Every structure is written in structure tokens, then in C-alpha cells.
Structure 1
Amino acid sequence: MSKQIAVRLPDELVIFLDALVAEGRFDSRAAIVTRELKRFKRRVEAEQDAEIYRREGDDDLAEFARYAARLPMDID
């Protein structure tokens, strides 16, 4: 299920979105926004998981969580 919403964006962002669509990189503005919001959602969830591991001290994953928390996350 999906819902249509209205979002007000600065002109320069709309121009950027329209250029991506015109170049054929995306089918629509909505496709771009959906992809990027999903990416951001996964990042927030990963950061929350890393914080849980840091706080609760899982011995096997604690060092990995500390390392991963410092890395920039660019996930699709």
C-alpha cells in the first residue's frame, strides 16, 4: 500500500530531481525520494543496532560495533 503526500522542496532540489529523471536514471521523482528514504531508514536502523551492541557489550560483536559506528554508511 502507498499514500500520496505533498512535500515542499526548494527549487534547486526539484531541478536536480527533474534532471535525474530526464537523464533516465530514475522513472520519477517519487522513485528517487522512495529510494533515498529507504536508504536513510536502513542507516538509522543500523545505527540503532550498533548502539545496542555498544551499550549491551556483546563480546563477539562489541569491537565490530565500535569500528562500524565510526564508518560512513552508504548502503543501497
Structure 2
Amino acid sequence: MSTQIAVRLPEAVVEFLDQQVADGRAPSRAALVTSALEREMRRILAEHDVDILTRSGTSDDLDALVDWTVTHVAIED
């Protein structure tokens, strides 16, 4: 499901959107805006993950398994 909204954008941004669509880099203005917003959402979530890892460290219950695997399992090319 999607919801239609009205957004005011600077003329230069609209020109950019239209050029991307005209060049075939995006199927529509809406698709390009959606893609950009989804990318921004992922960036914000990644920053949140970095904050968590910074506070709590990267060590977890699997570290010992990884260390064992590195020394005991041969990787073939």
C-alpha cells in the first residue's frame, strides 16, 4: 500500500529528478524519491547499529567459534 503526499522541492532537485527519469536511470520521480528515502532510512539504521556497537563492543558468543574455525578448518580455493 502507498500513500500519496505533496512535497515542495527546490527547482534544481526537480530538474535532477526529471533528468534521471529522462535518462532512464529511474522509472519515475516517485521511484527515485522512494529509493533515496529508503537509502536514507538504511543509513540511519546503520548509524544506530554503530552507536550500539560503540557502546557495547563487538564481542559476542560466536567469537570463540570463529577463532576455532580459523585455526581448525582448511579453506580450499
Identity of aligned residues (%): 57
Query: 2 CA distance for matches of 1:16 and 1:58?
Result: 41
Alpha-carbon deviations, 1:26-72, whole Å to 9, x = none? 11000000001001100100110110011112336xxxxxxxxxxxx
Match of 1:69 in 2: none
- Which consecutive unaligned segments of at least 5 residues does structure 1 have? 61-76
1:30 aligns with 2:30: yes
- Name the structure, 1 or 2, with higher relative contact order (CA <8 Å, separation 6+): 1
Secondary structure of the structure 2 residue equivalent to 1:9 = coil
State the TM-score, normalized to the length of structure 2. 0.73
Q: Show the counterpart of 1:41.
A: 41
Pairwise CA RMSD: 1.1
- Runs of 4 or more, structure 1, over 2 Å off, are 57-60
Structure showing greater radius of gyration is 2
Mapped partners of 1:58, 1:31: distance in 2: 36
Q: Provide TM-score, normalisation by structure 1.
A: 0.73
- Cross-structure match for 1:51: 51
Ranges in structure 2 where 5+ consecutive residues have no aligned partner? 61-77
